[in-house]
Amino acid sequence: MKDQPSNIDTLLIEEDSLGSELAEHLRPRFKRVEILDRIKPVDYARYDSRTLILTRHSGKFLKPCPGTGGYNCCGLQIIHFGLGCSLNCTYCILQPYLDTEALVLFSNFEEGLSQLKQALDSVEKHKTTVRYSTGEFTDSLLLENYTGFGARLVNLFGQYQYASLELKTKTDNIESLRGLNHNGRVIVSFSVNAPAVAKSEESEAASMERRLIAAKKMVEEGYRVGFHFDPLIRHPDWRNGYARTVSDIFSVIPAEKMAWISLGGFRFLPKLKPILARNHPESRIIYDEFVLAPDGKMRYLRPLRVEIYRHMVAEIRKRAPEACIYLCMENPRVWEEVFGYNPRSSGLIMKLNQRVRLL
């Protein structure tokens, strides 16, 4: 059917979500629609990635990024509008957290917007700087062509002066963001990787070329853009691979149009290993030199992480000496070895907030 998401063929709507704006918008776009009394979260596991579930969210729509003690956190506030991702990246950290491959959207998103507006009014009143993002539990723009959530948020943040919104994506679904009055309050960020990793581990995401074309279009629309090298993955000829991506980025995006670049080494919960081995037996990324870190995640040995980060920082600084670079969820010792200082979480938050104020 016209405008149906190409990789989703079934729409499940809970009765409580019938009549919602989102249900009325999506329902005509699917050939197969089922109305169910209620779907318990424990039953989500019955459904695969070709299923989209509409349900009401009974919790908070705004929550702080789930940082980990002992690791510097950038202090993002998360706008929670759905769960899951169908891009099928081999390393996806959501796999051990979620018990389903299905996508979940919250039909009462209007309530979330109301909560967000109250929070933004408070930010404006106190003239503080707060950064929000939607890319924690799903890709910010995965279903943008069908929901328009991103565009609605851009229009909302464009009415304020202090808060900022970051939309994070591995897609090129940016058309709905064009022609909007974002008022410089919105950063459109792209998760990027070395060509070999993008090809083998992110096969259903937009190609690196398409992501950079989308980033260029966003710059032409007056947005600042961000780039997240996360996860950085060791692989054959990784140095040249990541150097190529850095070069490709700066060949199309002026340094002054970049809000920030983050770096995060590949890390995962131990229970991801059997999931990845089962779902992606061709992938070799979990067979490397890892250690169980204090946060309960498997991480590359510290010297390996430092080596990767130093290489990335050097490649970026060649092209943009003043670029804002930060490490995502790294410990103070690694910060010291890479940058020569430890900003602590409060210092990192202050640094990124200063970038926002310069937008």
Q: Once rounded to an integer, what is the mean pLDDT over residues 207-235?
A: 98
Q: What digits encode the pLDDT tens for the residues 286-325?
A: 999 999 999 999 999 999 999 999 999 999 999 999 999 9
Q: What digits encode the pLDDT tens for the residues 87-129?
A: 999 999 999 888 788 999 999 999 999 999 999 999 999 999 9
What is the reported pLDDT for 2? 39
Q: Is 128 exposed, middle or buried (0-12, 13-18, 19+ CB in 10 A)?
A: exposed
Write out the two tokens for 308.
């990767």
Phi and psi at 194, nearest 5°, equal -65, 150
Write out the two tokens for 134.
């939607």
Of the candidates 270, 298, 275, the one whose C-alpha atom is nearest the C-alpha of residue 99 is 275
Q: Once rounded to an integer, what is the mean pLDDT over residues 243-260?
A: 98
Quickly list DSSP for 104-158.
Answer: EEETTHHHHHHHHHHHHHHHHHHT---EEES-SSS-TTTTHHHH-HHHHHHHHHT
Phi and psi at 235, nearest 5°, equal -155, 170
Q: Once rounded to an integer, what is the mean pLDDT over residues 78-82?
A: 95
pLDDT band at 3 (very low <50, low <70, confident <90, very high): very low
Query: Rg of the Cα trace of the chain?
Result: 20
- Cα 145 to chain centroid distance, Å, stands at 17
What is the reported pLDDT for 190? 98
pLDDT band at 6 (very low <50, low <70, confident <90, very high): low
- The gap between the terminal CA atoms of the chain, to the nearest Å, is 41
What is the reported pLDDT for 177? 98
Judge contact between 186 and 225, C-beta under 8 A.
no
Q: What digits encode the pLDDT tens for the residues 319-340?
A: 999 999 999 999 999 999 999 9
Distance of alpha carbon 186 from alpha carbon 182, whole angstroms: 6
Q: Once rounded to an integer, what is the mean pLDDT over residues 13-33?
A: 94
Q: Locate tokens 């900022």: which residue?
A: 164
Q: What digits encode the pLDDT tens for the residues 141-163?
A: 999 998 999 999 999 999 999 99
Could you tell me what percent of the chain has a pLDDT over 90?
85
Strand partners, 10: 32, 51
pLDDT band at 39 (very low <50, low <70, confident <90, very high): confident
Number of residues that make up the chain: 359
Is 70 exceeded by the pLDDT of residue 1?
no
What is the reported pLDDT for 250? 98
Kindly report whether the peptide bond that precedes residue 303 is cis, defined as omega within 30 degrees of 0: no
Is 70 exceeded by the pLDDT of residue 343?
yes
Sheet holding 82-83, edge to edge: 32-36, 10-14, 51-55, 103-106, 82-83
How many CB atoms are closer than 10 A to CB 3? 10
- Assign a CATH topology to domain 57-101+108-357: pyruvate-formate lyase- activating enzyme (3.80.30)
Q: Once rounded to an integer, what is the mean pLDDT over residues 181-196?
A: 97
Distance of alpha carbon 96 from alpha carbon 193, whole angstroms: 22
Q: Where are the domains of the chain?
A: 1-55, 57-101+108-357
Is 60 exceeded by the pLDDT of residue 17?
yes
Q: Give the mean pLDDT of the chain.
A: 94
pTM (2 d.p.) = 0.94
pLDDT band at 4 (very low <50, low <70, confident <90, very high): very low
When mean pLDDT is compared across 64-68, 76-80, 327-331, the lowest value belongs to 64-68
Is 50 exceeded by the pLDDT of residue 15?
yes
